[in-house]
Amino acid sequence: MTNVNAASLVRVESVSHRFDRDAVLQNVDLAVAPGEIVTLIGPNGAGKSTLVRIVLGLIRPSSGRVTRRPGLVIGYMPQHFHIEDGLPITVRRFLSLARGSGPEALEAALAEVSALHLIDNPFQGLSGGETQRVLLARALVRNPDLMVLDEPVRGVDVNGQLELYDLITRIRSRRGCGILMVSHDLHLVMAATDRVICLNHHVCCAGRPEAVSAHPEYLALFGPATGERLAVYTHSHDHRHDLAGEVVDDPAAGRDRRRSVGSGS
Amino acid sequence: MIDDFLWRALLGGIGIALVAGPLGSFIIWRRMAYFGDSLAHSALLGVAFGFLFGVDLQFGVLAVCMLLVLMLVALQQQKRLGADTLLVILAYSALSIGLVAVSFMESLRVDLLSYLFGDILAIGPVDLVWIYGGGAVTLALLAAIWRPLLAMTVHEELARAEGVPVAALRFVFMLAIALVIAIAMKIIGILLITSLLIIPAATARRFARTPEQMAALASLIGCLAVGGGLAGSLRFDTPSGPSIVTAAAVLFLLSLVAGGLASIRR
């Protein structure tokens, strides 16, 4: 179902993972090619962060295979980022902690996310959007082949989100790196996304997002320019999950989902 | 004669303060004050061991602290009990066994207070060798792991994703704490060591913009506290450890007042 090809930066094949007795991931496949943007969506507790950690090599899956291209450098942007207030640290010092970074690479990365003016600011004084930019710069400093961004726009207002999406899109086209991104929104994803994967312990569905411009209600909400940056992902599930999370065959679930997107919920 | 022991105490205290600055800063950043405190308390068992086997007390303390760290790491493999619970069980068992052992030793029982709260009279030339030798090893260790340790302190998962060997560094850092407890015990005392690690670093926080500034400033403030505390100890004939910590507390208060005034003026 995914375009698993030999040139993938990272490839996850039939991976399952369980914490104690809970099956968090079941038979998941995922691949990211150079220059490709893959967005992971799914409800809370669906296993998105676990899958990201498996891709990063932080967790070894209970079963299945993970292959990374030899010498692959990954730039990682974690979610819920917070630095202890007792630790005084400037943006410059924070970025210099990235492994294999020189002083020039550091300033170049900050300039790339338009945050060079923040270089001597205390990290803890940054706004939500500024923090996300600096984290993006930290992921860029190592000149990565693959960027893994866990909810990069969470806690940022809509305009800030659009700017960050612009930025990520530009980074992809300039550097040609692959991007694996987790979205906090079930229906709205970045327009430049090549492939959306909807995860709920297993891969529920996957495909291309549709332009927001096709959806009048989003247009009304965000204005016409939004269509260039945001896209709607229409889920096409052939099943639904009962209260225990078990898969139940139900073709109607897909239609339900589509209706709820149209009504802007 | 009086001059001799005073110089030794001052030299020893400054040596400890220099190491305590960077180490104490990391203890604050990593929220390990409780760990340091518990480990220090267990050092009493090391004192008893040192006496029993006739080796340097510092060696006994170091051995017991390292053993405790190893047991803690091993016990943390099971997930049923939290790290703080394990720490209480290990550290206070060690402290109590140490106290029980000491009660059997006539000569040590008399000296118990000086091990708990420090005694400048106890500092001989060999202790200075321990302080500066052990201190140099600790600082070298810390310098060698500084950047990756700081990276994992800022965000452990991000550091791991960048290839930092988190578990090994955590272990090395705990050993560094054990080393400082061993060399600081005689001057500051088992019950007070953590405060000399924490208070100067906490005082430095307000004036620092980078981690390195905070660490260096903490060393300086620690030296001031040692100087002031020892002067007070000599002048008023008070125990050296509490006097040094009192001086550190006064400096911390002054920094609060200075910070308060600065924010009012702003």
Q: Is residue A244 part of a domain?
A: yes
Report helix, strand or coil for A73: coil
Task: At B184, give phi and psi (nearest 5°).
Answer: -90, -15
Phi first, then psi, for residue A10 (nearest 5°) are: -140, 145
For residues A220 and A123, state if they share a domain: no
Task: Flag whether B143 is in a domain.
Answer: yes
Cα dihedral: B134, B138, B139, B143 (round 10): 150
pLDDT tens-place string over residues A76-112: 999 888 898 999 999 999 999 987 777 888 999 999 9
- Total beta-carbon pairs less than 8 A apart between chain A and chain B: 60
Q: Which of A95, A119, A143 is the last residue of a domain?
A: A143
Average pLDDT of the segment spanning A259-264 = 36
- pLDDT class for A255, splitting at 50, 70, 90? very low
Residue A172: CB atoms within 10 Å: 20
* Structure confidence at residue A222 as a pLDDT band (50, 70, 90): low
Cβ distance of B210 and A89 shorter than 8 Å:
yes
Domain encompassing residue A258: 10-72+145-262
The answer to the question of residue B187 being in a domain is yes
Total domains present in chain B: 1
Query: Distance between CA atoms of A48 and B236, rounded to whole angstroms?
Result: 64
Same domain (yes/no): A158, A171: yes
Q: Confirm whether B264 is domain-assigned.
A: no
- Distance (Å, whole) CA A155 – CA A132: 9
Rounded Cα gap, residues B115 and B240, in angstroms: 11
Cβ of A89 within 8 Å of Cβ of B163? The answer is no
Is A77 part of a structural domain of the chain?
no
User: Chain B closest CA to A176's CA: distance in Å?
Assistant: 21
Same domain as A32, residue A52: yes
Q: Tell me the percentage of chain B whose pLDDT exceeds 90.
A: 53
Per-residue tokens: A135: 């984290």
Q: Is B166 an 8 Å CB contact of chain A?
A: no
- Cβ distance of B158 and A138 shorter than 8 Å: yes
Contact B29 A87 (CB under 8 A): yes
Contact B211 A83 (CB under 8 A): no
Where in the sequence is the domain holding B220, given as residue range(s)? 2-257
List the CATH number of the domain containing A241.
Answer: 3.40.50.300
Q: How many domains does chain A have?
A: 2
A101 with A190, same domain: the answer is: no
Asked whether residue B262 is assigned to any structural domain, the reply reads no
- CATH number (domain holding residue B16): 1.10.3470.10
Contact B155 A98 (CB under 8 A): no
> Residue A192 falls within a domain, yes or no?
yes
Model confidence at B266, in pLDDT bands (50, 70, 90)?
Answer: low
Same domain, A163 and A113: no
Domain boundary among A143, A176, A191: A143
Residue B170 near chain A (CB below 8 Å): no
Q: Residue B117 corresponds to which tokens in the numbers above?
A: 């709260």
On whether residue B263 sits in a domain, the answer given is no
Indicate whether A122 and A182 sit together in one domain. no
B49 Cβ partners below 8 Å, 6+ apart?
B55, B60, B63, B64
List A12's β-bridge partners, or say none.
Answer: A30, A66
Q: Which of A21, A84, A94, A97 should be substituted to probe chain B, the one whose Cβ sees the most B Cβ atoms within 10 Å?
A: A97
What number of other Cβ atoms are within 10 A of residue A244's Cβ? 6
Which chain B residues are Cβ-neighbours of A93 within 8 angstroms?
A: 210-211
Residues of A in CB contact (< 8 Å) with B are 53, 56-58, 74, 76, 78, 81, 83-84, 86-90, 93-94, 97-99, 122, 138, 142, 148
Residue A220 counted as domain residue: yes
Considering chain A, what percentage of its residues have pLDDT values greater than 70? 81
Q: Is A2 part of any domain?
A: no
Predicted-complex ipTM score: 0.86
pLDDT in tens, B221-230: 999 999 999 9
Establish if A139 belongs to a structural domain: yes
Which of A128, A143, A158 is the last residue before a domain boundary? Answer: A143
Q: Does the pLDDT value for residue B15 go beyond 90?
A: yes
C-alpha to C-alpha distances, A237 to A29, A207, A248, A258, nearest whole angstrom:
17, 11, 11, 10
DSSP secondary structure of B34-68: HHHHHHHHHHHHHHHHHHHHTS-HHHHHHHHHHHH
Return the closest-CA partner of residue A135 out of B199, B247, B154.
B154
- pTM score above 0.80: yes
pLDDT for A94 equals 95
Do A203 and A86 sit in the same domain of this protein? Answer: no
- Alpha-carbon span A22 to A43, nearest angstrom: 16
pLDDT of residue B12: 92
